[in-house]
Structure 1
Amino acid sequence: MKKKVVRLVTGLVAFILAFQVYIYMLPITTSEKKCSAILILGCRVKGEVPSAFLMERTRHGAELFKKGYGEYIIVSGGKGSGEDISEAEAMKRILIEEGVPKEKIIEENKSTSTAENLKFSSKIIKEKDFNDVLIVSNEFHLRRASILAKKNNIKASYSGVFVSGYKYLELYGGIREIPAIIKDVLLN
């Protein structure tokens, strides 16, 4: 009985490691290309204060907008526990402060996960008849975002941010992506 448990655990660990290698070998092109819209994926808000990751994603999205990489910006993220406003609302406020016209910002404020960010945003993309989007998130997050974008038939290119002042959180985020990819890809 113990040998079976050891084999099962060993097999599971081997599968997870092999899957991790496979995921990190998937090609992801982060070349910024002009698209119909920019899609910024949400991240934690504490009360009404955006996290450093959300702040950097949003500022980067504003910069891309100003450079003409998209005519609109979709901000995607609902309201989770400990959040007094939706992530989309937090991003909208930042974008307006950064000089993006309010009428160019489209809110998706129901999603509570990356899978839902892409699922719910895909409806907006279809409704607005956007051909393609430039997805903005942390670099470690883009691989999963690309998988989920394909799953939702979103034609996308990608632009990642790295928040250098939060290297340990960036590392943790990268490690956290492994089970998240397994959950989103294999279980959904």
Structure 2
Amino acid sequence: MFRNNWKRILLVLSLIQTILIAATATSIWTFAGESELLEADAAIVLGTKVIGNEPSPVLEQRIKHAIDLYEAGYVEKIIFTGGTTDGAAIAESEVSRDFAIRHHIPEEDILIETQSLITEENFLFAGEVAEENGLSSFLVVSDPLHMKRALLMAEHAGIDAHSSPTPSTEFKGFTNIAPFFAREVVCYMAYVAVHAVI
């Protein structure tokens, strides 16, 4: 009898876990398609890997999207985020800034922070840069599947942020998308769980 009760409890817990994972995955996938094209003070571009002194293909897509937003008049400034990661010799934000300048974005309209190593820190230090420069509304630029977690982090950082995912992504095909998507589901659930406890 006792053993049967435990089996039922474990079955119920397993079912609840499966439902939570499925609901989270659906939410992230659906949110990835949302883009809020509205005017804001600045675009916050979330950093990611660089290769030497050049942006990785993923980071390049983010920079190019921010440039498009700037040139279309949606933002007046671009804040590039990201410190020195993966043994790189130069910060992600510095690589992003240099790329944007080469693509005719005025240097005076580019702001950077070079301290962050993770997404939460991207927003923490971008928020400090924004406050120093009197900026209060933002479009967040990242990959579509990263946007739901990113916007939640921005909210927790007290940043008035709106979603502006890259229209194209380097994560193409099942073999590329699946690991990234699975990671996002796990990271989102872990982030929510941690903040529910705090």
Length-normalised TM-score, structure 2? 0.82
Asked if 1:157 is matched to 2:162, the reply is: yes
Q: How does 1:48-87 map onto structure 2 within 5 Å?
A: 48-87=53-92
Secondary structure in structure 2 of the residue aligned to 1:100? coil
Whether contact under 8 Å (1:115, 1:148) holds in the other structure is yes
Q: How does 1:36-185 map onto structure 2 within 5 Å?
A: 36-161=41-166, 162-163=168-169, 166-167=172-173, 168-185=175-192
Question: What is the distance in 2 between the residues matched to 1:144 and 1:34?
Answer: 22
Whether contact under 8 Å (2:47, 2:80) holds in the other structure is yes
Which has the larger displacement, 124-133 or 86-95? 124-133
How far apart are residue 144 of structure 1 and its match? Answer: 0.5
Question: What is the distance in 1 between the residues matched to 2:9 and 2:135?
Answer: 50
Aligned length: 188
Whether contact under 8 Å (2:112, 2:129) holds in the other structure is no
How far apart are residue 19 of structure 1 and its match? Answer: 4.4
The superposition leaves residues 35-81 of structure 1 with CA deviations (integer Å, 9 ceiling, x where unpaired) of 00111101111333321110100011111111111111000111112
Which has the larger displacement, 78-87 or 65-74? 78-87
Counterpart in the other structure of 1:15: 17
Q: CA RMSD in A?
A: 2.7
Secondary structure in structure 2 of the residue aligned to 1:129? coil
Compared CA separation, residues 53 and 13, structure 1 to 2 (3 A): farther
Secondary structure in structure 2 of the residue aligned to 1:115? helix
Secondary structure in structure 1 of the residue aligned to 2:165? strand
Output the amino acid matched with 1:57. Answer: R
Compared CA separation, residues 51 and 164, structure 1 to 2 (3 A): closer
How far apart are residue 117 of structure 1 and its match? Answer: 0.9
Which has the larger displacement, 104-113 or 21-30? 21-30
Counterpart in the other structure of 2:36: 31
Secondary structure in structure 2 of the residue aligned to 1:80? coil
Question: What is the distance in 2 between the residues matched to 1:14 and 1:49?
Answer: 45
Whether contact under 8 Å (1:46, 1:83) holds in the other structure is yes
Percent identity for Structure 1 against Structure 2: 25
Length-normalised TM-score, structure 1? 0.86
Which has the larger displacement, 99-108 or 19-28? 19-28
